[in-house]
Each structure stands twice: as structure tokens, then as C-alpha cells.
């Protein structure tokens, strides 16, 4: 039986289902949130703020109350209850007085048109800057135009980079809004829940705010998939009773064993969130019972050595499962999280997951970067977690400086918000954390942009490997550089981190402008010719075009076309509208004209024209061109399968291309040979390739022990298809070669 019935309304799905007669079924909402009061807030703040600071907070409250007088929320409550609730969440983290005051005032600029200068005069520069930073975070429209969403997201992250308290207050604001989302219309609920899951949940995780992270996930889940949420909620409640006996038995056994070992510890069960259960079922294709069969416990001890003593004690109590141990104390996660994780075989043969940590680690695990304010000391130096967070925030500023537009910035940063990480070492044993799937080239850029730009080779565990090699936990990585080396556009196809991607694109934009301008000029001229427009435009048309396209010069516009940021057919359409006196918007989705003359490819155009690495076209192949963002024109063979899939997704980015007449260079091509595994065969094959006027640039080998055969892979350089056909015929005559074929992706 399917645990999850289809939802009548889902994010991104316009399908509706007829309502059944009878009593309407209500989606379970989170527990009712009481109206926040200032007296309750002051009680919380009295635990850690001084009387002078409390007085300032009261002043901020009175000003906010006065500004929001008469304003009510959708629920009918006075609006001031919302800023108070946001301040209470910040008080749970024990944020400082300025942050609490900013939380109380966070809507007065946006909603009540209060000027920043007035806040500056009344409450000082810190509070005024925080409120101003929060007010610049316009609401992110999850289903709005991509550019608008990206620009707002960029503003939020850059405000956060200047002062992390901005995002802490914003997350508290979003949390209270999600807790009280029930009164909104269904469509608005789904939109707000969608943007929460897309933007705020990964930021909360990246900052180590696990309590907020988990609650926001579950709240967003309840509004995105209400029927699934309700079904899963009921199933979990029903399963709790059946699990109680097993949980009690494990708790008693663990507490007794630790007490006998002389370890003072807090032991308690750890329940998975509803969204965590749902995600695990979906991603790993597990049934509900399989997910709930795993029991989770958390053990909090007093010292780091006792974490490891506890681990040994538990392994003496229950047998550990091989490969199910992770030491996040020795190598902490990117967001500062530390714990020992182990999975044991408990009573009745059930898997039992344990997390072992100290009190300090527990505070960091629950409150992340906010733990800095939670437990202050006299030491003004930044903690390790603060340093990591500061480094990440600084990287946002670096990416912003190298990035051309908001959509690109959003693309880079979202990559770095993924939680999974790998931990690798420099030759001097320094630990570097990278997103899962990162390559050796990402490692080079993580050290320094200059090192990445000049990378020529990499050694992983003392063995030379390709730059595209994916890194794994524990790898020792050494980068080899050359001052004459420069980034290649093909690097963009396999780098994983936002820093590497933005640095490569920045280099390609700034260094190869002339080539991009020439290509863009040619592409636009052909697009204009298809509309019977002369490429020489009048001065008035150029002035209007530059004003409406936000380009500073025609060369900049040509360069944007050459690197794929603008479509030549759409620019030509816009020019046609200007000439006809009917200016149209550049982002139109009108497809390019079908009768544009093909672009001629000579293979010597530089980085503005790339031969696709998936199919490696050579002269004589039927070819087609794809305009890729920041990679210019990428040439594929017409029968390339990846190209066919890409063409279905973005048909308006493809243009006709053709080979030129005189091509004075050689082109890479891959071939595959199936040979007998015998002495001297590789030498005979290599010699034949040389005699056939081919040049070998790569050799790879795969053995098939069952058939006593070997598969050889070569990347060779040839002049054209005729040359390749001649070379393949010669190879087939070599003794021991059973099959030769051209290899494609």
C-alpha cells in the first residue's frame, strides 16, 4: 500500500482533484503559538542583559509599538506581536542588545517608511545598520522571474556577509512567519514554503543552526505536501507505542553500562523529523517500517576523552556495524558540527545509531554560529566556528566581485550551500573541506585563485591524476603550477565549487574579450542578415540599444553575445523593433530565425569557440553549435547524444555551424581497440598510429580477465575524418587487434 496518497495541491503542480463530499479533512498544523508579549520577552532578556541594555530594548519596543499602532496581522493579532516574537527567538540564542532592538524594529523602515537617519539618531549606528540591512532584503518571489529572485538573494547574502546578525534575525523572522502560516491562502502558503525550503533551510544548515534547520524543514514540508505530512505524522504516532519497549531497554542498558565504566552522561532518544523520514524514504526507496526500524540516541558527556571512552564502552555492549563509524570530532563539518557517530546492532538485531558529544559540542550542534552569543567569554578572539563562518562569508564577497550578474552569483552560492562535504589534506597535513563531488581543480582554487589559474597537474596520494579527478575523504592533494598556464573553458565542465567556477568565468571574461567580441559581432551580423538588416547600425539605434540593454558599449554587447550571455537572434529581434519604432524587451522567448547562415568553424578561434569534449568533432563530421553561458560557442557532432538532450531543454540556444575550407591544425579524437592480451601488442599499435601520421595524447587500458582480452583507449590527433578512416583501417591489420572503433560519449 502506498503510504503517501497524491496531494491535491503540490508546489509546481497545477493538477487539482475533485473534493470528496463529507467532513473536510484538515491538515495538522504545528502547536498553537501564543501571542508574544513584551513582559515575557523582558523576562528572558533579564537573564543576560544589563539594566542599561534592558532600558534601550524597552525604548526600541515603544518606538516599534508606536509605528505599528493600528496595524494587524492576517490572524487579527496586533502587528507588534510579530516583532516581539522574532526578538524572543533571538533571545533564546542570547543575541546582544543591538540585535534584539533590531529584531523589534526590523519592519519599521519597510512598512512604516521610517528613515534610517531617525533610527541612527535614536538607537545608534549598529542598530540602524542592522535594520537597514534587514529592510533591503526584499521578499524573495520563489515563482518570480529568475533574475529578480537572484538579485534579492544576492542582497540578502551580501548583507549577511557584512554582519552575520542580519541573517540570524532574518531566520528568526522567517521561523515565526512559518509558525503562523496557517491563516494564509493555500497558494501563498506553498510559495512561502517553497522559498523557505529553497533558500532559508540551506542557509540555516550552513550556519549550523540545526534546531531552526529542522523546524523550518518540517514546517515547509507540512505546507508543500499537506496530505503526505498528515499521513506520515499519523504513521509516526502509531509507531511510537510499538517502539517504546525497545527504546526503554536500550536506554537502561546504555545508562547502566556507562555508570559501571564511571562515565557521567546524559542519554536520551533522538527522533527523526518528519521531513527527514520522508526524504530518506524517497531517496533510498525505503518503506516506512525500514526507516523506523533504526533507533537513534544521543549521549552528552563532559570531556572529549570521555567521548572516545564512551564509544569503546558502547562497542563492548553492542556489536558495531562495519563502515558505520564517523569521527566528526577530529574532522568537524563545515558548519562547525562535532560528534562521534556509530551504528551498532542492538537487541532483536535492530540497528541503533548513537551520537556522542560534549556539552560544548551539543550547544554548537543546536545553535551553530549563534552559540557565540549564547556563551560569551572574556576572550575576544574568534572561535574556530566563527573563523570558518567568517571565511565563508568573505568568499561570498569574493564571488560577488568576480561575478557578472545576480543569476550567476546565485548559481555559484547555491553550490556551496550543499551540506555534504569531503575532507582532504595538503602535503603539510592541513585539512581542507570541500563540497562532495569536488575535483582536484576545486582544491587548487580553494587554496588561492592564483594557484587555481596556473594549475597544470595534480598529485593525489603521490600519484599523478587528471585535474577532473573527484576527491575523497582522506586524500592528500598536491598541486603543480606553471606561471605560463591559464584557465581553460573546459574546466567549467567539471569544477564543483562556486569559488572555482566564478574565478574561471571571471578570467575568461576579462582575458579573452577580443575573441568574444569578434565572435559576437559575426553572430549578430548573421542574425541581422536573416531579418534583412544591415550590420552597420545608425548612431540613434545604437544609443537606444545600449540604453535598453544596459551594455556600456557595442563591444561589451558583442562580448556578451560571444560568451553566450545574450542570444544573437533576440538582440536582432530587439534591433528590428527599434528600427520599426516598436521597442520590445530583450528577455523575449521568441525563437531564432531558421534561415541564419551557418557560422564557419576553423578550429583556431581560441577560447570563444570550443569543440565539445563529449563527442570531439573533427572536420568532415556533421556539426551543430550551442551558445553556452560564459563558454561561447560549443561545437557538437549532430549525432552526439548529450547534445540531443541539451537541445530539447534549450532549443533557442542552437545555431547552424559548418567547417571552413582551409584547416591548418589537428583535432583530438578518441578511439577504442579490443586486443589480445599478448606481449608487444601495445608497441605495435602505437607504432602503427605513428606511421599513419597520428599523434597520441592519451592512453588508457581496461583488462577483461575472463576473455583474456584488453581494451585500449587512445586520444589521438588527426586532420579530418578521411585521415581517421585511413588510420583505423591500418590498425585493423595489426596482428592481435580484434576491433577498432571511434569512441563517443
Nearest Cα neighbor of 344 from 310, 314, 300 is 314
Distance CA 615, CA 626 (A): 13
Per DSSP (E only), the strands in 409-487 are: 421-425, 431-435, 455-460, 463-465, 477-481
Start-to-end CA distance of the chain, whole Å, equals: 40
- Residue 623 half-sphere exposure toward CB, CA atoms < 13 A: 27
Please report which helix (H) or strand (E) contains residue 519, including its range. helix 513-529
CB atoms within 10 A of CB 76: 7
- Reduced to 3 states (helix: H, G, I; strand: E, B; else coil), residue 10 is strand
Is residue 271 among the annotated active site residues? no
Indicate if 111 belongs to the active site: yes
Buried/exposed 696-727: b ≥16 CB within 10 Å, e otherwise: eeeeeeeeeeeeeebebebbbbbbbbebbeeb
- Name the 3-class secondary structure at 447: helix
For residues 204 and 207, what is the distance between their CA atoms, to the nearest angstrom?
5
User: What's the DSSP call for residue 652?
Assistant: G
Catalytic entry in 110, 360, 366, 555: 110
Residues 349 and 716: their CA atoms lie apart, in Å, by 56
Q: How many residues does the chain have?
A: 745
Cα 25 to Cα 21, 28, 238, 725, distances in angstroms: 11, 9, 19, 70
| Grid cell in block for residue 259 | 555508570
Q: Please give the Cα distance from 255 to 244 (Å, whole number).
A: 16
- Which of 43, 66, 111, 597 is the catalytic position? 111
Q: Which three cell numbers stand for residue 643?
A: 547534445
CB of 485 within 8 A of CB of 474? Answer: no
Q: Is 612 left (phi over 0), alpha (psi -120 to 50) or beta?
A: beta
Q: Which residues pair with 437 in a beta bridge?
A: none
Cell 560534549, residue located: 358
Taking the C-alpha atoms of residue 517 and residue 560, their distance in angstroms, rounded to an integer, is: 8
State the helix-helix crossing angle for 51-67 and 116-123, rounded to 10 degrees: 150
Strand pairing report for 477-481 and 609-611:
unpaired
Interatomic CA distance for residues 644 and 196, integer angstroms: 35
The answer to whether the Cα torsion of 40, 43, 49, 53 is positive or negative is positive
So which residues are the catalytic ones? 110-111
Amino acid at each position: 500500500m502506498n503510504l503517501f496518497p497524491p496531494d491535491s495541491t503540490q508546489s509546481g503542480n497545477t493538477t487539482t482533484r475533485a473534493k470528496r463530499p463529507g467532513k473536510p479533512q484538515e491538515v495538522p498544523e504545528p502547536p498553537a503559538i501564543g501571542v508574544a508579549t513584551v513582559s515575557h520577552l523582558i523576562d528572558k532578556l533579564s537573564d543576560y542583559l544589563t539594566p542599561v541594555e534592558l532600558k534601550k530594548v524597552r525604548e526600541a519596543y515603544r518606538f516599534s509599538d508606536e509605528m505599528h499602532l493600528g496595524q494587524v496581522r492576517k490572524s487579527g493579532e496586533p502587528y507588534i506581536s510579530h516583532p516581539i516574537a522574532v526578538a524572543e527567538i533571538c533571545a533564546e540564542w542570547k543575541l546582544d542588545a543591538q540585535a534584539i532592538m533590531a529584531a523589534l524594529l526590523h519592519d519599521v523602515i519597510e512598512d512604516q517608511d521610517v528613515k534610517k537617519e531617525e533610527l541612527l539618531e535614536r538607537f545608534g549606528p549598529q542598530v540602524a545598520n542592522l535594520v537597514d540591512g534587514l529592510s533591503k532584503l526584499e521578499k524573495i518571489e520563489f515563482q518570480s522571474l529568475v533574475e529578480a529572485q537572484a538579485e534579492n538573494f544576492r542582497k540578502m547574502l551580501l548583507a549577511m556577509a557584512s554582519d552575520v546578525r542580519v541573517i540570524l534575525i532574518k531566520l528568526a523572522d522567517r521561523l515565526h512567519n512559518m509558525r503562523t502560516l496557517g491563516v494564509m491562502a493555500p497558494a501563498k502558503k506553498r510559495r512561502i514554503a517553497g522559498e523557505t525550503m529553497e533558500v532559508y533551510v540551506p542557509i540555516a544548515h550552513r550556519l549550523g543552526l540545526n534546531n531552526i534547520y529542522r523546524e523550518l524543514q518540517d514546517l515547509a514540508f507540512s505546507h508543500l505536501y499537506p496530505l503526505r505530512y498528515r499521513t506520515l505524522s499519523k504513521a509516526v504516532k502509531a509507531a511510537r507505542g510499538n517502539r517504546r519497549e525497545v527504546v526503554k531497554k536500550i536506554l537502561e542498558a546504555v545508562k547502566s553500562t556507562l555508570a559501571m565504566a564511571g562515565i557521567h552522561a546524559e542519554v536520551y532518544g533522538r527522533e527523526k523529523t518528519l521531513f527527514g523520514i520522508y526524504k530518506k524514504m524517497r531517496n533510498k526507496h525505503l518503506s516506512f517500517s525500514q526507516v523506523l526500524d533504526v533507533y537513534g540516541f544521543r549521549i552528552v558527556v563532559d570531556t572529549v576523552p570521555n567521548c572516545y571512552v564512551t564509544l569503546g564502552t558502547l562497542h563492548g555492549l553492542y556489536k558495531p556495524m562495519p563502515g558505520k563509524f564517523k569521527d566528526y570530532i577530529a574532522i568537524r563539518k563545515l558548519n562547525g558540527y562535532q560528534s562521534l557517530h556509530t551504528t551498532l546492532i542492538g537487541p532483536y538485531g535492530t540497528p541503533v545509531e548513537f551520537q556522542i558529544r560534549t556539552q560544548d559540542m551539543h550547544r554548537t550542534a543546536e545553535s551553530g554560529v549563534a552559540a557565540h552569543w549564547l556563551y560569551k567569554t572574556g576572550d575576544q578572539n574568534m572561535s574556530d566556528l566563527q573563523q570558518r563562518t567568517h571565511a565563508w562569508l568573505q568568499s561570498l564577497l569574493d564571488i560577488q566581485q568576480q561575478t557578472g550578474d545576480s543569476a550567476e552569483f546565485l548559481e555559484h552560492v547555491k553550490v556551496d550551500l550543499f551540506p555534504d562535504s569531503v575532507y582532504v589534506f595538503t602535503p603539510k597535513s592541513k585539512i581542507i573541506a570541500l563540497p562532495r563531488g569536488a575535483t582536484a581543480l576545486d582544491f587548487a582554487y580553494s587554496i588561492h585563485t592564483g594557484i587555481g589559474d596556473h594549475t597544470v597537474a595534480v598529485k593525489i596520494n603521490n600519484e599523478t591524476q587528471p585535474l577532473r579527478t573527484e576527491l575523497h575523504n582522506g586524500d592528500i592533494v598536491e598541486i603543480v603550477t606553471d606561471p605560463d598556464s591559464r584557465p581553460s573553458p573546459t574546466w567549467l565542465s567539471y569544477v564543483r565549487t562556486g569559488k572555482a567556477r566564478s574565478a574561471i568565468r571571471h578570467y575568461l571574461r576579462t582575458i579573452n574579450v577580443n575573441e568574444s567580441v569578434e565572435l559576437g559581432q559575426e553572430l549578430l551580423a548573421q542574425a541581422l542578415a536573416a531579418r534583412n538588416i544591415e550590420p552597420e547600425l545608425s548612431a540613434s539605434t545604437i544609443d537606444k540599444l545600449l540604453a535598453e540593454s544596459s551594455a556600456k558599449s557595442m563591444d561589451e554587447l558583442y562580448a556578451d553575445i560571444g560568451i553566450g550571455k545574450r542570444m544573437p537572434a533576440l538582440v536582432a529581434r530587439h534591433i528590428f523593433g527599434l528600427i520599426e519604432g516598436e521597442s520590445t524587451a530583450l528577455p523575449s522567448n521568441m525563437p531564432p530565425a531558421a534561415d541564419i547562415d551557418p557560422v564557419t568553424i576553423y578550429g583556431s578561434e581560441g577560447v570563444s569557440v570550443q569543440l565539445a569534449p563529449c563527442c570531439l568533432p573533427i572536420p568532415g563530421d556533421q556539426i551543430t553549435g550551442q551558445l553556452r553561458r560564459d563558454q561561447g560557442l560549443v561545437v557538437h557532432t549532430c549525432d552526439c547524444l548529450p547534445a540531443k538532450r541539451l537541445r530539447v531543454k534549450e532549443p533557442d540556444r542552437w545555431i547552424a555551424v559548418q567547417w571552413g575550407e582551409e584547416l591548418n591544425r589537428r583535432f583530438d579524437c578518441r578511439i577504442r581497440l579490443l586486443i589480445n592480451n599478448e606481449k608487444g601488442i601495445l608497441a605495435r599499435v602505437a607504432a602503427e598510429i605513428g606511421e599513419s601520421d597520428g599523434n597520441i595524447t592519451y592512453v588508457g587500458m581496461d583488462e577483461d580477465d575472463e576473455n583474456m582480452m584488453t581494451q585500449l583507449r587512445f586520444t589521438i590527433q588527426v586532420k579530418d575524418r578521411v585521415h581517421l578512416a585511413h588510420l583505423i583501417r591500418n590498425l585493423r591489420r595489426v596482428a592481435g587487434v580484434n576491433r577498432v572503433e571511434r569512441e563517443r560519449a
